[in-house]
Amino acid sequence: MRNRVEILHGVNLDQLGSREPEIYGSLTLGELETQVRRFGTELGLELIFEQTNHEGEYVELLHAARETTDALILNPGAWTHYSYAIRDALASTGLPAVEVHLSAVSEREEFRRHSVIRDHCLAHIEGKGVDGYSDALVLLNEAFERS
Ligand code: DQA
């Protein structure tokens, strides 16, 4: 049975809580992880959390993902908008993935409106804060149940 979901946070997301709280909310990354883990456990999912500020490390986590997880939730931070390296690594996993952003990226600056990973994801969720991760878990759980 597939039930593992890896949640990969990218650059600057370790600064949640103190970083522009009016945009990203006041939860720290640790607090966000606790809430999302609680929700995932209720769904019977096993969650793995990773965060890095190093693009190559994010790519290597994606390379390893085929062995370590059944699905992905990606919030690569600013890399979302320009990292073809992350896009290619995601494509190579062949895993179901959901793109999540805490803020409403499509309503912010022009450069945030574009995502280079979106067409390799089942769905993208933005502007819902921590609830966006719960929505992503529901979608992935439904995908597990269908297959
Ligand atoms: C973000 C949106 C990105 O544009 C930004 O660079 C981030 C966070 C979000 O979760 O809203 O670092 O991915």
The single-letter DSSP state of residue 4 is E
| Atom of ligand 1 minimally distant from the CA of 23 | 11
Which two three-digit tokens encode residue 52?
Answer: 């890095």
Residue 50: enclosing H or E segment and its boundaries? strand 46-51
Domain ranges of the chain: 4-146
Look up 24 and say whether it is catalytic: yes
Q: What is the Cα–Cα distance from 102 to 125, expressed in whole angstroms?
A: 8
Tens of pLDDT, residue by residue, the chain (147 residues): 899 999 999 999 999 999 999 999 999 999 999 999 999 999 999 999 999 999 999 999 999 999 999 999 999 999 999 999 999 999 999 999 999 999 999 999 999 999 999 999 999 999 999 999 999 999 999 999 998
- Closest-CA residue, ligand 1 atom 12, reads 77
Q: Is the pTM of this model over 0.85?
A: yes
Write down the CATH number for the domain with range 4-146.
3.40.50.9100
- Kindly give the distance from the C-alpha atom of residue 16 to the centroid of ligand 1, in angstroms, as a whole number: 10
Q: Where are the alpha helices (DSSP H) in the chain?
A: 21-24, 29-42, 55-68, 84-93, 131-146
